[in-house]
Amino acid sequence: MEKNGVPEFESEMEAVAWSFKQLSEAVKNLASRIAVLETAFNKLPPPGADMVKYKIPGNDEYSNLKELFDNLYERLNKLEEDSAINGNVHTGDR
């Protein structure tokens, strides 16, 4: 008769053998789960600007965060310069 999923044993050797078998199966299960996690982690990009890619409208290639922010600031600065020349937009307090 089993108690909490553990069978009753006729000898201590049976109990030890059953325990080792259970531990062996648990280790195999953990090893396969770790292999799945390692595969998933290897697919992740390294931390940094390359973790996020965005295709800037008009560009053929995807840009990382640094390139995206550089593009945005370049465009904002150009707009501010153009508006300062035309004198029609407040450039803000910097």
Q: Do residue 29 and residue 66 come from a single domain?
A: no
The identity of residue 16, as a single letter, is: V
If we measure between CA atoms, which residue out of 32, 64, 38, 34 comes closest to residue 51? 64
The residue range of the domain holding 67 is 49-86
Residues 38 and 54 in one domain: no
For residue 3, which phi and psi values (nearest 5 degrees)?
-125, 115
Same domain flag for 53 and 79: yes
Q: Is residue 94, in this structure, part of any structural domain at all?
A: no
> Is a pLDDT exceeding 80 seen at residue 4?
no
Token readout for 81 is: 């310069």
In a domain, 93, yes or no: no
- Cα 7 from chain centroid? 43
pLDDT tens, residue by residue, 18-62: 999 999 999 999 999 999 999 999 988 888 888 888 998 888 999
Look up the pTM and report it.
Answer: 0.49
Together in a domain, 30 and 54 = no
